[in-house]
Amino acid sequence: MPAGKTMEQNTATKPIRCKAAVCKVAGQPLEMEEVEVAPPRAHEVRIKILCTSLCHTDVTFWRLKGFPPRHPSILGHEAAGVVESVGDHVHEVAVGDTVVPVFLAQCGDCPDCLSDRSNICSGLPAGRPGMPRDGTTRFSFAATGEPINNFLGVSSFTEYTVVDVAHVVRLDPGVPPEKACLLSCGVSTGIGAAWKVAAVEPGSSVAVFGLGAVGLAGSTRVQDAWG
């Protein structure tokens, strides 16, 4: 029997204990904690994180003190991983698939997902606390059972996470995880800004500001447009 199927049968309906970097107080250092990650519910997948990167958005939310408190929480939203188990009604990915979690959902049914002019899903809007379909969390402290909030529907600063299948994109396993994780936000944001928002085309005069992941990805799209 394939190793992935064995893993699915052994752990799919059970919590997993692992390490996570937990934000307990805004602006204070993250603390490594043993956490419990619940099994995926309907329309959800549990992912073993292979690599995660730090986006400035993580730093921004880590610093925020004026927002309604959502502490403790597990930050992180740029990652690549492997599907460890799936909940009911998940057909888009399977155990063992390499995937990239993304913070913007794609339900595929709402008017915005069906439009060529928008990718801001209104069926599962971004920014809701908890999981997008029921508002609850799949994380808790292993020692006390105290719930831990998730972040942007992803929470990648952990060894395992649970993500709604609408927030998951299957990826070629040949893409190195340390590069694939940037597709979650930085690269897609830069390419999308040049391609979808600015609508760069051959002959356009453009200026790209910034040499981080977003700026470099936008520059790549501009070069592609020029051929």
Query: Which regions of 126-186 does DSSP assign to beta strands (E)?
Result: 139-141, 147-148, 160-164, 168-170
Rg value, the chain, Cα:
18
* 3-state DSSP helix/strand/coil % of the chain, to nearest 5: 25, 25, 50
pLDDT confidence bin for 103, thresholds 50/70/90:
confident
Give per-residue pLDDT as tens, 74-101: 999 889 999 999 999 999 999 999 999 9
Give the closest residue to 70 by CA, choosing from 31, 114, 22: 22
Token readout for 190 is: 């830069």
pLDDT confidence bin for 64, thresholds 50/70/90:
confident
- The yes-or-no verdict on residue 56 having pLDDT over 60 is yes
Q: Which residues does 63 contact at the CB level (< 8 Å), separation at least 6?
A: 26, 27
14-20's contacts with Cβ under 8 Å and 24+ in sequence apart are 14/39, 15/39, 16/46, 16/84, 16/160, 17/142, 18/158, 18/159, 18/160, 19/158, 19/159, 20/74, 20/139, 20/148, 20/157, 20/158, 20/159
Give per-residue pLDDT as tens, 131-159: 989 999 999 999 999 999 999 889 999 99
Residue 50 confidence (pLDDT): 95
Q: Are 162 and 44 in contact (CB under 8 A)?
A: yes
Place of tokens 């927002």: 67
pLDDT confidence bin for 180, thresholds 50/70/90:
confident
- Out of 139-148, 160-169, 183-192, 214-223, pick the least confident: 214-223
H helix or E strand, kind and range, residue 222: helix 213-226
H helix or E strand, kind and range, residue 33: strand 31-37
Residues 23-37: what's their mean pLDDT?
94
Task: Indicate the pTM of the whole model.
Answer: 0.81
The overall average pLDDT reported for the chain is 84
- The yes-or-no verdict on residue 188 having pLDDT over 80 is no
Residue 2 confidence (pLDDT): 45
Report which of residues 217 and 35 the model is more confident about.
35
Q: Where are the domains of the chain?
A: 16-178, 186-225
| Domain spanning 16-178: CATH 3.40.50.300 | no
